[in-house]
Structure 1
Amino acid sequence: MDTTDPLTTLPDTPHPAPLPLEGLEALDTLRGAVRGEVVVPGDPDYDEARKVYNAIHDRRPAVVVRAADAGDVIAGVLFARDHGLPLAVRGGAHAVAGYGTVDDGLVVDLSPMRAVRVDPAARTARAEGGCTWGDFNHATHAFGLATTGGVVSTTGIAGLTLGGGMGNLARRYGLSCDNLVEADVVTADGTLVTCDAERHPDLFWALRGGGGNFGVVTSFVYRLHPVDDVLGGVVFYPLDADVARNWRDLVAGSPEELNTIFVMVLGPDMPFLPERWHGRPVCGLVTCFSGPPEEDGKVLALLDELGPVVGRFVERMPYPVVNTLFDEDLPPGLYHYWKGNFSRDLSDGAIDVHVRYGATLPSMESDTAIFPIDGACHRVGPEESAFAYRDASFSAAFGTTHTDPADNEANIAWTRAYDEALRPHTQEAGYVNFMDTDDQDRVRANYRQNYDRLRTVKRRYDPGNLFRLNHNIEP
């Protein structure tokens, strides 16, 4: 499979042949309709405009519309539709599958649209579709408020929320999509639709876990919660199945205010980790305790009981900081290939597979992360939103990240073998935000009992499948 081209794995849906854009008069019309920038090949900033987070996807769009507002989004959508161009939508550009870019098509880039307006009395925030979680957390923290967001601050709010949204507050406050209360969406016919529980409720339901299949979300309104400082950081242990089993028991018995993500990495060069562990396989817990400070000692004692601690940096910090701890280790421009699976429990068999592959991680940047998705995530029914796996308690993301494209083939093969070894121990599907370009055959399973309803919504809002550069739900 050509892993650099998502079109090789998308459904064979008929569309008009793209028109050549060189010298096209309509391009001038597009420029006249856009307040932001229209970037095409040959422009000085074209190479920068076409970049996405995952360098494995090195594509050359025909047009990039850097949208300043919803009007620009409408102009870009209509231009792509009218000229038969494949349409990619880019928020934070973090999609591991590279769906924020496309060869010979049009990219609607929301990254200039990053305003956040907080209503502290209502405990809500309206954020534009190009915001990152760093933008969002900065704005809401000024009021001592937060909602569940990503664990890397440069992740876009749009892609994370539309896929579901796991993060450091999920056990206490649910997924990002569970905290979405309203959205403005540009649909395939260029209409701007506001949806919530009462207005276009079918679209609002589908957005909460159904991915980018239904339109371009230009703004999101989230419910906020009182979160100020947290006990956050990371604890490292030797890579050992007993630590993973102890963590499994910790999740089952700990308060929802304590969110821990189990990770396997090669020991990083950090001051709190002794040098003898640098580059050696270790496991760890990314910790975020949003409970009262007087309980911190008990939390630290629980973490110490999981196994021999070889390095620990856990302290009180502002909530936004805990979501930046890995930003420097995962900058844009690395090469990524991921897989993911849901599971009702973390069986001993699954733990053995994880530990076996954790011992052979192929690069310092590669990792496995297992997210707990219990607590508040389970208080939403499996058909109340498009996120279908409400019976899953864990979501694993695993794969390779590296700096040299020469390693792509070997690292992709390693990740696929890891995925195959895990399949007997997991549920049929995984979190759409952890799926790569070759996972289109898992789309129906990813949405489970909600798939047919999602297809009905797709037919209503995008009957021509204009929004098909995603884990696609065919109309």
Structure 2
Amino acid sequence: MEEDFLGGLTGRIVIPSDPDYNLARQGWNHAVQNYPLIINYCQSQQDVRNAVLWSVNHSFPLRVRSGGHNYEGYSNGNRVLVIDLSEMNSITLEEEKNLLHIQGGVTNRLLYDFVSQKGYPFPGGTCPTVGVSGYASGGGWGLSCRYLGLGCDSLEEFELVDYRGTVLKANKSCNSDLFWACRGAGGGNFGVITSMTFQLPKKTRNVTLIEIDYLHVDSLIQERFLKVWQNWQATADNRMTLLARIYHTEADGPAMLVRGFFYGKPAEAKEMLEPFLLLPKAVKNIEYVTFLEAVTIIGSFYPPFEKFQAVSGFVFQDFVPSERAQLVSLIEAPAPGSVFTGLSLYALGGKVSETGTNDTAFFYRKARYILWLETIWEDDRYACYNRNWIACRYPEFNSLTTGSYVNFPYSGLYCYKKKYFGGHVRPLEEIKLKYDPDNVFTFPQGLFPSGNSPFEPVNNSQNPLKDIPWDSLVDLLEAEKQKETEKQQGSENQQEAENQQESGSQQGAENKLKPGNQQESETQQGAENQQGLGEQLGTENKLTPENQQNTRSSRNPRGFRYVTRRRKYRSF
């Protein structure tokens, strides 16, 4: 039955009974645990076409995954088909035209390694394992953006497999509306991007790497730090892009940091950074290194995975002293079990703002920076406390910011489409209807969100596939398809069932236990009462070799990305 059901899928297939399934299903944010039914590692464009057609023919929900870094797990889901592009990772260069061609599964690390050998920089992201196709289609912030633009600004063309399995080419003259939409509106909405072509900047061998740290400061210094940041933004040289952060941990107490690149010499950078360096407890490392060394050092701060939740917004204005104090207060009382709380500031402006608001789907071109509030935990017992910590602070955070960055998604956003896409919502919806009228490519925060089927993603720590044989899962899928067919016959039966439920009649209860719903009902009931089972499952997962390899050192529970390099200053 397995072979019959999977017939038509090509590439490498992983299902729940396979030994590598538990590792294959994980995204970077381990706070979100999804259990797909099929993971299809595509190795060619034809594999992708086959997967899309299989999904449509089986009325089977799909997700598209490149690097697996969607913070809310939207590139994955429960009982879905995951089209994974990570094994499509070839890169070629047309050096006479400075054109870089990549497949849809290329990561920042692979791209940086390739272009640096040829002498080029690239406006990529900071985390080495992020997929470039998802990064660029959502806009693409990085430490070169003020000088080289967002990742999407260098995009010249891409190929996309649509809901019919057809390969579409999109550029400024061919399917230009689709090309516009996929430069800022995020991946997974219109189809599967299988390749991208970027225009490379002029060759640059060296950059100045900027690292400044301030440990064990107080809230007043953090407020001064935010003021210095605002002043720097007002007159910043386009060649310099900074990331700043105020944060709190047990080891560092209240602390701050600055990271950045400057496309110039260190002496000039130090002069520009003098206000930051004059703040108390500043410890600096400003050095001239190759572009590859710079991105590798920044990338080394990222752990193999994290458990976190965060929310982002754009800032267009200066904050008055009371508002800066308000921002600092957001992180002063961490959630129970939190190992890190932080407020990060990602500089925009420069070349980002030189591109018109309507030139791409990235709406917030004129913002000064992105603000990001985050909490990280390790023990699953504290997950709900940390999620509530973000939820409780979101209204205040929302009052100080505008919109939200689609590459930093938050499931609790108010009016998420308006937040992510601003004034571009309507044209994006029209483009969505044109290129995906059946809403094949969808997820909970898609342009047309997914529904409430039991086959949609659920952010939980319970495994809905545990101990269910493959044949039973296939039967369950067929029952769900039959149930959807019955629902489409009319609303009369639905209304009758609702009336029976309200009256509490036994007949109504029996009608609700149709074959398609009985398994679902039993699964849901078990999920409500199996907290102990979930903990046991979590223990089993922790004992797997894959997870043992990914376990972070207890000396540095937050991973590298919030601390200075150990070889330079200190260790935990």
Q: TM-score range by the shorter chain?
A: 0.7 to 0.9
Q: Which residue of 2 aligns with 1:16?
A: none
How far apart are the structure 1 equivalents of 2:385 and 2:244?
25
Are 1:345 and 1:394, in contact at CA under 8 Å, matched by a contact in 2? no
The structure-2 alpha-carbon separation of the partners of 1:38 and 1:382, relative to structure 1 and needing over 3 Å to count, comes to same
Are 2:391 and 2:412, in contact at CA under 8 Å, matched by a contact in 1? no
Write the deviation string for residues 216-235 of structure 1: whole angstroms up to 9, x where unpaired.
11111112223322111321
Are 1:353 and 1:422, in contact at CA under 8 Å, matched by a contact in 2? no
The structure-2 alpha-carbon separation of the partners of 1:149 and 1:351, relative to structure 1 and needing over 3 Å to count, comes to farther
Task: Identify which of 372, 395, 398 aligns with 1:420.
Answer: 395
Write the deviation string for residues 265-315 of structure 1: whole angstroms up to 9, x where unpaired.
3469xxxxxxxxx4211112112111245524424535413x124322332
1:291 aligns with 2:252: no
**Letter in structure 2 aligned against 1:472:** G
Q: Which residue of 1 aligns with 2:233?
A: 251
Structure 1 position 326, deviation (Å) = 5.2
Give aligned-pair identity as a percent.
26
The structure-2 alpha-carbon separation of the partners of 1:294 and 1:329, relative to structure 1 and needing over 3 Å to count, comes to closer
Structure 1 position 472, deviation (Å) = 1.1
Q: Which residue of 2 aligns with 1:220?
A: 196
Q: Which residue of 1 aligns with 2:210?
A: 233
Are 1:88 and 1:101, in contact at CA under 8 Å, matched by a contact in 2? yes
Equivalence map 1:146-161=2 (5 Å): 146-161=121-136
Q: Which residue of 1 aligns with 2:176?
A: 201
SS in 2 for 1:432: coil
Are 1:373 and 1:394, in contact at CA under 8 Å, matched by a contact in 2? yes
Q: Which residue of 1 aligns with 2:425?
A: 451
Structure 1 position 423, deviation (Å) = 2.1
Q: Which residue of 1 aligns with 2:510?
A: none
Structure 1 position 441, deviation (Å) = 2.6
Any gaps of 5 or more consecutive residues in structure 2?
A: 450-572
**Letter in structure 1 aligned against 2:433:** R
Are 1:185 and 1:218, in contact at CA under 8 Å, matched by a contact in 2? yes
Task: Identify which of 275, 294, 311 aligns with 1:322.
Answer: 294
Are 1:55 and 1:334, in contact at CA under 8 Å, matched by a contact in 2? yes
How far apart are the structure 2 equivalents of 1:361 and 1:124?
46
Q: Which residue of 1 aligns with 2:6?
A: 27
Q: Which residue of 1 aligns with 2:507?
A: none
Q: How many residues align?
A: 439
**Letter in structure 1 aligned against 2:26:** K
Are 2:266 and 2:287, in contact at CA under 8 Å, matched by a contact in 1? no
Are 1:343 and 1:426, in contact at CA under 8 Å, matched by a contact in 2? yes
**Letter in structure 1 aligned against 2:411:** T
Q: Which residue of 2 aligns with 1:126?
A: 101
Write the deviation string for residues 218-261 of structure 1: whole angstroms up to 9, x where unpaired.
11111222332211132123352111111111121121111111
**Letter in structure 2 aligned against 1:110:** L
Structure 1 position 438, deviation (Å) = 3.0
Detail structure 1 runs of 4+ shifted over 6 Å in the superposition.
Answer: none
How far apart are the structure 1 equivalents of 2:331 and 2:97?
45
Are 2:418 and 2:425, in contact at CA under 8 Å, matched by a contact in 1? yes
1:343 aligns with 2:322: no
Q: Which residue of 2 aligns with 1:434?
A: 408
Q: Which residue of 1 aligns with 2:330?
A: 357
Q: Which residue of 2 aligns with 1:263?
A: 245
Q: Which residue of 2 aligns with 1:143?
A: 118
Equivalence map 1:361-440=2 (5 Å): 361-362=334-335, 363-427=338-402, 429-439=403-413
Are 2:160 and 2:168, in contact at CA under 8 Å, matched by a contact in 1? yes
Structure 1 position 417, deviation (Å) = 2.5
**Letter in structure 1 aligned against 2:48:** V
Are 1:366 and 1:402, in contact at CA under 8 Å, matched by a contact in 2? no
TM-score using structure 1 length? 0.87
The structure-2 alpha-carbon separation of the partners of 1:410 and 1:452, relative to structure 1 and needing over 3 Å to count, comes to same
How far apart are the structure 2 equivalents of 1:161 and 1:287?
20
Structure 1 position 28, deviation (Å) = 3.0
Q: Which residue of 2 aligns with 1:469?
A: 443
How far apart are the structure 1 equivalents of 2:270 and 2:283?
17
TM-score using structure 2 length? 0.73
Structure 1 position 333, deviation (Å) = 3.4
Structure 1 position 361, deviation (Å) = 4.2
Structure 1 position 156, deviation (Å) = 1.4
How far apart are the structure 2 equivalents of 1:311 and 1:106?
48
Any gaps of 5 or more consecutive residues in structure 1?
A: 1-21, 269-277
SS in 2 for 1:137: helix
Structure 1 position 169, deviation (Å) = 0.8
| Higher-Rg member (1/2) | 2
Structure 1 position 443, deviation (Å) = 1.1
Are 1:147 and 1:223, in contact at CA under 8 Å, matched by a contact in 2? no
Equivalence map 1:83-102=2 (5 Å): 83-102=58-77
Are 1:267 and 1:281, in contact at CA under 8 Å, matched by a contact in 2? yes
SS in 2 for 1:136: helix
Structure 1 position 436, deviation (Å) = 1.9
Structure 1 position 140, deviation (Å) = 0.8
Structure with greater helix percent: 2
Task: Give the aligned CA root-mean-square deviation in angstroms.
Answer: 2.0
**Letter in structure 2 aligned against 1:464:** D
**Letter in structure 2 aligned against 1:28:** G
How far apart are the structure 2 equivalents of 1:94 and 1:248?
30
